[in-house]
Amino acid sequence: MKIQTAEFVTSVGLGSRLPVAHVPQIAFVGRSNVGKSTLINALAHRKIARAGGAPGTTRLLNVYRLQLAKHRGALLLIDLPGYGYARGGEAANHGFDRLTRRYFQPDPHETPDRPGRTAPAGAILLVDARHPGLATDCDAVAWLSELRLPMVVAATKVDRLKASARRAALKAHELALGRTVLPISAKLGDGLPAFWTALLELAGL
Ligand code: GDP
């Protein structure tokens, strides 16, 4: 996919609001270290997200904007804090931190026309190809399904597996999550064309 411009827009903490944007938002969700930042950089064709940070240290929601090839529109990628390193009282919330839950389940008094929030068009859930069936990933699918948010699941880092192991892992992921799982490697580019197709469909572009 041709990208005209790609940029980091802002980081948002619990106390602040998302910028208002009139382009579709896609939320990126997954365990810490699953390869979210690396994938965002691969989609953008440049380094806009900080990859390889210490697991669990990013407790902010990072917003990136991609301007696609001419006439294809624009897209906001919302990079949510990685889960799986829940601390304190977070364990009872499927490992999702307050920021993530607030993003998906805004204050019921907040109406869509009030500034500060546009609902996501869909979510991308990333799972590590090498670790099928993790309880936290199954919880994430269940939670996002409950929200009735359109979702695409992709298994990252498939380059770490040989072809036969790759197929077996994919089957195991699909069985555990009860959904189609797209195999991708942000490092080598495997599966990214199919991933882009799914992403654009999710965004309604
Ligand atoms: P995040 O915490 O989800 O943002 O994960 P990062 O993007 O920082 O990636 C975590 C680690 O996995 C880094 O060391 C990356 O280099 C590595 N990684 C990410 N994507 C891939 C991939 O497609 N293949 C391989 N082999 N390693 C990857």
All domains of the chain in start order, with CATH: 3-106+117-203 (3.40.50.300)
Q: Is 69 a residue whose pLDDT tops 80? A: yes
In ligand 1, which atom is closest to the CA atom of 185?
A: 23
* Residues framing ligand 1 (Cβ under 6 A): 30, 32-38, 51-53, 82, 156-157, 159-160, 185-187
CA dihedral (201, 122, 126, 1) positive or negative: positive
The answer for residues whose C-beta is within 8 angstroms of residue 106's C-beta and 6 or more apart is: 117
State the pLDDT confidence band at 111, using cuts at 50, 70 and 90: low
Distance CA 187, CA 180 (A): 22
The residue written with tokens 């892992």 in the block is 169
Q: Residue 28 has what pLDDT?
A: 96
- Residue 48: the pLDDT is 95
Q: Give 51 Cα–ligand 1 centroid separation in angstroms.
A: 7
Nearest atom of ligand 1 to the alpha carbon of 58: 2
- pTM of the full structure: 0.91
Residue 122's identity, in one-letter code, is G
Most confident of 89-93, 97-101, 115-119: 97-101
Per the document, the length of the chain is: 205
